[in-house]
Structure 1
């Protein structure tokens, strides 16, 4: 027998959350509203973050009011007939004003996108990203501009800071004061060295007096449980076309949606050869990088 409209209303009422002030019967459960993150914060904003020397990540929000104002200012079919893009500017060494970038390129995006991984291709550079629309006549209209970020180098710095250099005489003095000259000696040699130093100080008057008998008491040390453990691992990461086929050491490796990959290897002593090969989706192109790592633990 089907439910009447009245039955449905009664059932719906029985499923509503119990107000905090009401009394609950034994066996009842209280339902609370969800407090998840909001879909947006009603701000026209784009944020740019560095991921590694070759990739940055952008995320953004564009409000409906901003879109309506742009359509009112330019054209009602601005978003319907135009195409949205991320415009990536290289602003290394310039005070960017919107038109003085060293170079730029566009990435087509869909209107529903809210974030994007961007391959910047050149490390050790400064970048700014804008979201904009290219209208049906080919004119670019900026919607919002990001902060500036710098991607790091992909190699060891060749800059030597003279402030941290140390002449040999100063280094040797600090090394001896810190006890560094005792490194590598056994306990018997160290005790002999200390004894000789004390004898020299006694004969030269460097020590004025000792209490008690002339013998120097040597206090026995308690056994110590001091220890040290160290090891290494190797992380290999990179990126290629998202639809490419990738293999590392002959094993097929799945790519993330943006074409990136990251692998973690144990690194025992010895030589390690890590060939990385990528093939285009149609198999017509291949690229290969061979990495050799040597580890020696003394």
Structure 2
């Protein structure tokens, strides 16, 4: 409301409605000044946003936002898994008696160093699997690979020592190993020959004693039918009519 556009009489009426003290002695300008607080316009949206921002800055570290009561969004740093580590490593792991898993990585430094020392202008990387039986080493598998990766092999070798090696093949077919994995004894494909010392209870040897305790002699029984009949009769005599029929 634009108070300056009103007459003094209209201002006096408003002052009376708002119960402004001393209004009758006020000039028009004084009446306008006294009535302004009652007709002040709300703060612009921009000012409200600035006020909310100042409140948020004062409450940094609180878990809940004061205005909404909802959990504040937490900014989390992301740590993506790198595609490679540039670290020399190779590992051999058995899956079962007929499957093996190998993963590896050759660093750029190591690869370049080997190529330089061996003076190999042309070469390729090869992953090999070796086995050892009675101290006799044989090559079980071979595959061309990159300087980093993983591979599943299907080599049936229960109770056999296996390991993997990765290296360079020169132009003459010679193999120059760079990394060698751990040696692993493959799992067996049969039941273990180790017998534990546990004693398992059987009732075969105690069957005679069970019949004697039941009150029936084995010498007087000629068949399984007779055995069952005599046992039922003996039990019925001791239990009476409580669920077992007597033989008439």
TM-score (norm 1): 0.41
Whichever of the two has the greater Rg, that structure is 2
Bigger relative contact order, structure 1 or 2 (CA pairs below 8 A, ≥6 apart): 2
More helix by share: 2
More strand by share: 1
TM-score (norm 2): 0.48
